[in-house]
Amino acid sequence: MTSVQTAPAPTKRPVRQLLAASVGNAVEWYDWYAYTFLATYIAAEIFPPGAGSSLVPLLSTFAVFAVGFFMRPVGGLLMGAVADRHGRRTALTVTILLMGGSSLLVGLTPSYATAGLAAPAVLVLARLLQGLSVGGEFAASTTFLVESAAPGRRGLFSSFQYVSTTAGQLLASGVATLLVDTLAPDAMHGWGWRVPFLLGAVLALTGFWIRRGAQETRSDSGRQAPRPGLLEALRRHPRESLLICGITAGGTLAYYTWTSYLPTYAELNAGVDTSDALLAGTLSLAFFGLLQPLGGLLSDRVGRRPLLLAFGLGFALLAVPLLHALRDSFAVLLLVQCAGMVLLTGFTSISAAVNAEIFPPWVRAAGIGFPYSLTVALFGGTAPYVGTLFKDLGRSGLFPWYVSVVCLLSTLVYLRLPETARTDLER
């Protein structure tokens, strides 16, 4: 665990730094989630109909989504290494250009009727690039945000990681909903589904321009240090790498359960109407985004460990009763989602700061990027699959216990973490 070292003067343009990280991160996640919201349209255009099953194209679309998810650890490692070797700003400009290019590629993917098997091949390539970009984005933007903060403000700056992620998710949902509500079905299937991805490419150029003017956060001594090897962080800091996994496992499982899977879970297990589930999910996401700066500010005052423990113990004790409380009621679903969002903020608002405070600066981005993205892929990315699997096995009641146990295991890690909120960040 890194400790006290006098930090250089903080950036003179904190608002520009926050904007550079947040706008780019929002664009990254807008593109990532747009694919999910438009999966049914992509399936119909890009994949051949399955013999005897109308679900085959949709399943193929989600399989490509999974491919992108498991590219994220590779992106965390590669783009983290770029950030450590060539600077945080360089990595941030590379990741947003990758995402813009991959979004453009999705938008221009030919239909199966036009190009045959080349169509799904192009889509797979685009999702590989998106996964690489999203994995690298967290590694680079985490270090950039936290290193940009003035003393006593690292928690606040850290919180904008999930403020911008939530903004991107809400924007993707809003654009997709607007198109579906305004375009005729034929137009939506023919060209409408491509519009959000083409828009994403334009937004990426805007984010690129903003990031080009950002201030580099790596110190002069960091620039003069020997360039670390690709696996330097894993080789020299195995304990810290495992620590990132332990910190993240419960948080990412709870995050993807409450922000992505809960509407589907409520439909499958409590009979909640689809439109009610989606509306509750959207409202709770907006509430969640507003909570993040409050959590970051609180951690700067009382420390990181109290918030992490509140999150971990809260979910360990309340995940089961909260999920079992769901019934065919919009109000109950919204209350359950918002209650979970309050607890979840104890993790999300400060995870960037906690991760950055673990590693020394010369391997910070890669040290965070790979174990974090790998843990997200293993626990967060599989949450909907595990929940659906339990339902198919007739044991849907086990999923809340799964969430509870994983959060309890992460809580044991939090108990052993030293408090780092008031130490200077090594740079």
Is pLDDT larger for residue 230 or for residue 286?
Answer: 286
pLDDT at 150: 84
Residue 5 predicted with pLDDT over 50: no
Whole-number pLDDT of residue 51: 45
Who has greater pLDDT, 233 or 166?
Answer: 166
Mean pLDDT of 37-60: 66
- Average pLDDT on 314-328 reads 94
Task: Check residue 311 and give its pLDDT.
Answer: 98
Say what the pLDDT of residue 194 is.
94
Q: What pLDDT sits at residue 70? A: 79
Confirm or reject CATH 1.20.1250.20 for domain 228-422, answering yes or no: yes
pLDDT at position 258 is 93
Global pTM value? 0.84
pLDDT of residue 166: 93
* Of the listed ranges 152-161, 212-221, 311-320, the one predicted with least confidence: 212-221
The pLDDT score that the predictor gives to residue 65 is 62
* Residue-wise pLDDT tens digits, 62-121: 666 667 777 888 888 888 888 888 888 899 999 999 999 999 999 999 988 888 888 888
Looking at residue 305, its pLDDT comes to 95
% of the chain with per-residue pLDDT over 90: 39
If one compares 123 and 404, the residue with the highest pLDDT of the two is 404
pLDDT tens for 199-257 read 999 999 988 888 887 888 776 555 555 566 667 778 888 899 999 999 999 999 999 99
pLDDT band at 310 (very low <50, low <70, confident <90, very high): very high
Radius of gyration of the chain, Cα coordinates, nearest whole angstrom: 21
Outline which parts of the chain fall under CATH 1.20.1250.20.
14-215, 228-422
User: Of 93-107, 132-146, 316-330, 408-422, where does mean pLDDT reach its minimum?
Assistant: 132-146
Contacts made by residues 170-179, CB under 8 angstroms, sequence distance 24+: 170/282, 170/285, 170/286, 170/289, 171/26, 171/30, 172/29, 172/30, 172/31, 172/32, 172/33, 172/34, 172/36, 172/37, 172/196, 173/33, 173/37, 173/282, 175/30, 175/34, 175/199, 176/34, 176/37, 176/38
Q: What is residue 213's predicted lDDT score, i.e. its pLDDT?
A: 79
Q: Which residues contact 292 (CB under 8 A, 6 or more apart)?
A: 159, 160, 162, 163, 166, 345, 348, 349
Most confident by average pLDDT, 339-343, 358-362, 383-387 = 339-343
The pLDDT value recorded for residue 6 is 41
Mean pLDDT over 356-363 rounds to 86
CB atoms closer than 10 angstroms to residue 114: 10
How large is the average pLDDT for residues 350-362? Answer: 90
Whole-number pLDDT of residue 4: 41
In the CATH hierarchy, which top-level class contains the domain 14-215? mainly alpha
